[in-house]
Chains A and B, each alone.
Chain A
Amino acid sequence: MEQVKAAGTTKDYKESYGPSESAERAKARRQTEGAPAPLIPDCCNVGVCLRSIVILNGAAIATAFALAPDVTLTWERLLSIALILEPALLLSLGSLCIVRKWTNGQHLNVQWVVGLAVPGLIAAAVAWVFASSPSQNADLSQSVILSMTTRAVSAAVIAAAMYEYFRLRARAYAPSFSEARLQALQARIRPHFLFNSLNTVLGLIRTEPRLAEHTLENLADLFRVFMRDARELVPLDDEVITCKEYLAIEQLRLSKRLQVAWDIDEMPGDALLPSLLLQPLIENAVHHGIEPRMDTGLISIRITKPGDRVRVEIDNPICATPAVRPGNQMALSNVRERLMLLYDMEAELKTGAQGDLFRLHLEFPYRKERRRRDVRRNYNPDR
C-alpha cells in the first residue's frame, strides 16, 4: 500500500510543480525507458571495431599456435584462419553498423536473431566464395555445405560472446540507471535538508549557542558521509551514529512531533554493511511517518542478530495526508538494489502496513569487520 501512495506522491509533486514537461515528452521518455537495451554494440564506432578486431585476431593467433602441429606451420594455419576471419569480420562489422539502426528498440529476441544471423550468414557466404571459386563449379557439394554450416555456427558463437563482452563492459562503466535517478533525487532532497538544517541552526544561535554549535558539527559529519562513496562498507556502529546524527537534527526541527525508540542492545556493531544503507530508510520513516502529521509520532528501530544474520526493523506511523516531498519508492528500491548487488539472494527487504504502522523488515548476512579501526567514531547525543 505504501508503494502506491508513494508513487502517487512523487507524480503529483512533479505534475504540480513542473508544468514545463509536456505530455509528449513524458511519453517519449517512457518509451525509451521501456525499450530493451540495444544488444548489438555500435559497430560504426572506431573503438568498438578496434576492440573486435584486436580480440578476434588475438584469438586467431592463439588458436593457430595451439593447433599447428609444427611451429613452422603456424603461419600457414594463421593464414587459413585469417582468410575466412578477416573478410567475415569486416563485412559483419559493416553490416551490423547499418542493421543496428533498425534493430535498436526492437524486442530483445529480434535483436538476438539478427545479431547472430548477420555474422553467421556472412561467414557462410565467405566460406562459399572460397570453397567454390577455385573449382568454378558453383554446385553445393556436401563438403561445401558442411564447411559453410560450421563457419556460420562458429561465427554466431563468436558474435554471441562478443555481445556479452560488450554488454558487461557497458554495465561495468555506466552507473546503473536507478543509481542515476537516485542521485538526481538526492540532489533535490539534500539541499532541502541542508537549508532546513541551516535555518534550524540560525534559529538556535542566539538562544542556545551550544546546541547550535553541536548541530553544525552533526551536519558536517553527515555531509562527510553523504559525499563518501556509497559502495564503501562500514561497520554497523558507524551507520547507527550517522542515523543518530541525522535524527538529532530532525529532532530540533520537528521537536515533540518526532519520538525515536532505539532497541540496539543486541546489535552486532562490527557487522559490515554498505554506507548509507540505514540512514535513507530512517529518513523515509521521518519523511512519511512524522513530517506530514501534526501530533506526535514514534519511530522505533530495532536491530538484532538472529543466528548469523543481521535484522533491522523500522516502524513508523502511517499518515493519511501525503508527504511534502517525493522519494519513498526510490529510497526503498535503491536500498533493495544495493542489497541485491552485495548479498544477492541472501538479503531481504520487506515492507508492509500493519494496523496504522508501516513496518520495514530488513535482513542481511552477518559479516564481520575485517580489521578494527584505530579511530572509531563516537557519538554522544547528550554532549
Chain B
Amino acid sequence: MSDATTILIVDDEPPARARLREVLADLAPEFPHRIVGEAANAPEALAQIESQRPQIVLMDVQMPGMTGIELARHISARAGEGDSEDPKPMPLMIFVTAFDEFAVDAFEVNALDYLLKPVRGQRLLAALVRARTLMPSEHLDAIDALAKATNTRRRHLSVHERGRVILVPLEQVVYLKAELKYITVRTREREYLIEESLTSLEDEFNDRFVRIHRNALVARPSIAGFERVTPTGEGEAGDPYWQVVLREIQDRLPVSRRQWSIVKGLVS
C-alpha cells in the first residue's frame, strides 16, 4: 500500500473521462495518485466505491439517471454504515460541472469544491490538495446543504445485497417499515433491507410517504383504504383498531391511534 491517493472518475461522457485522466497524469509528480476506476453512471459508481474504496471521487454533476448531487447523497447516506471494524468508506467528492450559473451559485455557499468544464490542471490540483484537508464530517454537512440548496431529493433508495448495489426507484416503494436494526423496503414485487433511519426518511420524503405508525411509512398513492379490525383470539380481546389496505399487495399494516387522526383524512 503506497501513499498515493486513490481516485475514482465518474462521468457519463468518455471524452470527459479521458480528459480528466490526462490532466491527472500531468499532475502525478505534484500529486501522487492512483486512478482505481472509472464509472459512467450512478450504479456503476456506487459499486466501484464499494469495491475499490477510493479516497477521492471526481464526479460529473449532469449524468443520466441520477445527478451527481443525488449520487453524493447516496454515498453520504451510506457512510459509516456497516460493521464497526469495517465501516463503509466515505470518499471525498469533488464535483465537475459544465456551464451552469445556478448550480455554481449553489456550490458557492458550501464547503464542497467544484470544477468547471473544461477542467484546468492547476485548478484540479488545488481542489485535490484542499480535499485532503477537509474533515469528513464537514463534507457530509456540505453535501446535505448542497442537496438542499439545489432542491435535490433522492429518487431512489440504494440497497446493497451480496456486494451489489441496487437502486430502487422511490415510486415503486409501497411502504417502509422499521424492524430492529433495519428498514424493510416493500415494493410490489419484493422486499429489500436498508440501514437508514425512519425519521430521516420521513423528513426527506414527506411529500410521498405518510407515517401511519411509530414503525411504518406508507406511500400515499398506494393507500387504497382503511378497515377496522377487532383483535380476536388468545382470550383478551383488545380495542378495535384500523388497518391500511394497500393497492396491489395483500399486506395489511396497523395504524396507531395517535396517527389515525392525521391519516384518516387521506381517504375520503
Residues of chain A touching chain B, judged by Cβ–Cβ distance below 8 Å, are 12, 15-19, 191-192, 194-196, 198-204, 206-207, 252-255, 257, 291-294, 321, 324-325
7 A-B contacts (beta carbon < 8 Å): A17-B102, A17-B106, A255-B13, A292-B64, A292-B65, A294-B41, A294-B65
CB distance from B59 to the nearest CB of A (A): 14
CB distance from B28 to the nearest CB of A (A): 15
Residues of B within 8 A of A192 (CB): 98-100
Give the contacting residue for A324; candidates B14, B41, B62; CB below 8 A: B62
Residues of B within 8 A of A203 (CB): 13-19, 22
Q: Which residue of A lies closest to B100 (CB)?
A: A192
- The answer to whether B151 touches A321, judged by C-beta atoms less than 8 angstroms apart, is no
- The answer to whether B118 touches A202, judged by C-beta atoms less than 8 angstroms apart, is yes
Give the contacting residue for B18; candidates A17, A196, A204, A254; CB below 8 A: A204
Knowing A17-B102, A192-B99, A206-B22 are in contact, say whether A199-B117 is a contact too (CB < 8 A). yes
Please tell me if B67 contacts chain A, counting CB pairs below 8 Å.
yes
Which of B16, B118, B119 is the most central at the interface, judged by chain A CB atoms within 10 Å of its CB? B118
CA–CA, A255 and B40, complex, Å: 11
Which of A199, A200, A292 is the most central at the interface, judged by chain B CB atoms within 10 Å of its CB? A199
Residues of B within 8 A of A16 (CB): 150-152
New contact pairs (7) apart from A201-B15, A255-B13, CB-CB < 8 Å: A19-B149, A192-B98, A199-B15, A199-B16, A200-B15, A292-B65, A293-B64
Please tell me if B103 contacts chain A, counting CB pairs below 8 Å.
yes
CA–CA, A194 and B98, complex, Å: 9
- Total number of residue pairs linking A and B with CB closer than 8 Å: 84
Give the contacting residue for B64; candidates A198, A252, A291; CB below 8 A: A291
Knowing A203-B15, A206-B22 are in contact, say whether A196-B150 is a contact too (CB < 8 A). no
- The answer to whether A195 touches B99, judged by C-beta atoms less than 8 angstroms apart, is yes
Give the contacting residue for B151; candidates A15, A257, A292; CB below 8 A: A15
Query: Chain B interface secondary structure, helix, strand, loop or mixed?
Result: loop
Chain B, 80-126, CB within 8 A of any chain A CB: 98-100, 102-103, 105-106, 116-119
- The answer to whether B18 touches A191, judged by C-beta atoms less than 8 angstroms apart, is no
Give the contacting residue for B15; candidates A18, A253, A294; CB below 8 A: A253
Residues of A within 8 A of B13 (CB): 196, 199-200, 203, 253-255
Give the contacting residue for B98; candidates A15, A196, A202, A254; CB below 8 A: A196
CB distance from B50 to the nearest CB of A (A): 19
CB distance from B38 to the nearest CB of A (A): 13
CA–CA, A324 and B105, complex, Å: 17
CB distance from B243 to the nearest CB of A (A): 32
CB distance from A162 to the nearest CB of B (A): 45
